Structure 1
């Protein structure tokens, strides 16, 4: 049997359905972004989706790894490997099994993200990728609205099946166990994670440099959904995103007021009016408590993230995966990998800001909202940043969801 002939024939067939594979990969990627909280054993559903994507890219001949990327990836993996090795040698509290698991995760995420990046860039699929993540974001937001209505219906509408693989406790969607204050979390494990996801998409919609303009209606809908999370950090970051976007109008002097903006303001005001009690309790009252010093939780989230820094192993860190759950990527870098990795993460953030200041600001702010460099969501965020932070001359200005 001529295996070479069969292999060439298989690749030839896949080239003919290349457009179908493109849609499969992009929507699998978009789906994986919304199931990062769904646990199946010790893995997330997003991990399994990544595995499917990687497998399909390999068997269809769509997996590409450039020489310089191989060198860069091997260097990064080697650094993590050395961290595991030296931590095991010099840190008595280091658990080798946790370190190896972290090394495998980073390698797996890095390889999959690199493959997707090359696939999308080679075929100039940035516009289609942005459409896919927005379509899925709208669907997930509609599910979030349904779940909120179902909770308020007091059992009249079923919704528990959406949370089969994630949290379902009352505290995950109510404010301080009060069922009168329902916060939208859709299929995520908590409202702030839903807000984190929506802010990434809203920021990429606004600040991408590939010439893709997402409809105002979609962005308005995402903005309203962020408000409905009643997540203090998510809404604060959303406001900063809107402010950064407004600078475009001032800089370009092309802002034209039209009826859409009246409608935009009307919708936001109506949402606040309808959910005034929740808005007042979760945001206004909390703001006053923070200003008065009664509520120190927001400050503690930032300051307490640094408490796991190991002064005895300042250069080596505690080792990969050895910091408890915290809210700060930079604190993770310092506590897990030491001061050199922390400095590199700061330099990396500066690099993104130099390429695209507003996406760099988005990256900085969201890294203080949600920690977890061993989470799929962080690596998908990195993929979107590298896809959309720089301009591409071959891309033409397009619009979706015409308004």
Structure 2
């Protein structure tokens, strides 16, 4: 919820991570299994080896930046492992998912309030909710139509809010711990993702529902009945009623993207790879040396090199093997929001690890 809130050089989530880790240690609830320790050491070993090679081969490598990134990854790995073991050992998956959805509803409520406050043109206070994040108009005006305000809640951009909500939605639909969440949670999440007017967030959400329909057909839970026809008619009626809105926010945006006038999709799929240095393709530019880009895989190839990039591909395939639907969403999300050295990516990994398998695995 507060991964975008900056306090000094860290996010508020970083400080919360520290409190969570300290609480687990003090209460005697921090545990790491031997095989997990080996995986963490392997991860850190790859990064240390990459730093050593960059010191010797890359004259532009900044050791201070590399060490800071190594410390950050170690910190996240330690916290994620501890929280994962705590949730699994106490079988708190259901309670944890309920909390995640309640917090998501709070985020939705704050987002709708801020949107109404912006439309009221100063009649309602909202600035205090953006104390530690962006306040500029570019972060909430819909650029194709300045009369439309995009919902971003407590996040710095509408697409980041959409990313966060899509993570919760995908876990609600595809968790393998046999948990069914209340439909009202998913309804509120879907509605708010639409209100972000974020093309990438809405596209990811549509992809999630296509996967969900496929999963329901595959398991025989969807059957063609009279109710199915009624649901389809309701959908067509809603599309007809809100066509002007859909045309303004989605159809025209699609035309802009296909014509090249909107470069956001191009940046995610193509421009994110421009920092890959072919002269240092095997060792990369050095961990933490790539500017902000949208694509996690491009980040890894640019920063740590080809070997780490291939390992990240194998890691993604492992997710697909364990849970095809969550694994597919994981890959798509890595193209929606870049960065692997930030807390939200670590939280994404934590949630995927917890809910990709059933209780016994």
TM category, shorter:
over 0.9
Quote the RMSD (CA, aligned, Å).
Answer: 2.3
- Give distance in 2, aligned partners of 1:331 and 1:377: 17
- Give distance in 2, aligned partners of 1:263 and 1:155: 41
- CA 1:272/1:336 → structure 2, altered by over 3 Å: closer, same or farther? farther
TM-score (norm 1): 0.84
For the residue of structure 2 that corresponds to 1:184, the secondary structure is coil
- Give distance in 1, aligned partners of 2:250 and 2:16: 36
For 1:34-53, list aligned pairs within 5 A: 34-53=1-20
Match of 1:150 among 114, 117, 126: 117
TM-score (norm 2): 0.93
For the residue of structure 2 that corresponds to 1:133, the secondary structure is helix
- CA 1:81/1:264 → structure 2, altered by over 3 Å: closer, same or farther? farther
- Give distance in 1, aligned partners of 2:157 and 2:317: 30
- On the 8 A contact 1:174/1:182 being kept in 2, the answer is yes
Q: Residues 90-111 of structure 1, C-alpha deviation per residue, up to 9 Å, x if partnerless? A: 2111111111110010000000
Report how far residue 276 of structure 1 moved: 4.4
- On the 8 A contact 2:267/2:294 being kept in 1, the answer is no
- CA 1:94/1:77 → structure 2, altered by over 3 Å: closer, same or farther? same
- Give distance in 1, aligned partners of 2:53 and 2:234: 56
Report how far residue 377 of structure 1 moved: 0.5
Identify the residue that residue 303 of structure 1 maps to in structure 2: 270
Q: Residues 258-285 of structure 1, C-alpha deviation per residue, up to 9 Å, x if partnerless? A: 69x8599579939973x945x4333211
Report how far residue 217 of structure 1 moved: 1.8
For the residue of structure 1 that corresponds to 2:148, the secondary structure is strand
Report how far residue 300 of structure 1 moved: 3.3
Extract unaligned runs of 5+ from structure 2.
Answer: none
Matched, 1:360 2:327: yes
Matched, 1:212 2:179: yes
Identify the residue that residue 303 of structure 2 maps to in structure 1: 336
- CA 1:125/1:53 → structure 2, altered by over 3 Å: closer, same or farther? same
- On the 8 A contact 1:373/1:379 being kept in 2, the answer is yes
- On the 8 A contact 2:140/2:150 being kept in 1, the answer is yes
For the residue of structure 1 that corresponds to 2:29, the secondary structure is coil
For 1:264-283, list aligned pairs within 5 A: 269=238, 273=242, 276-277=244-245, 279-283=246-250
For 1:123-272, list aligned pairs within 5 A: 123-176=90-143, 179-255=146-222, 269=238
- Give distance in 1, aligned partners of 2:51 and 2:240: 50
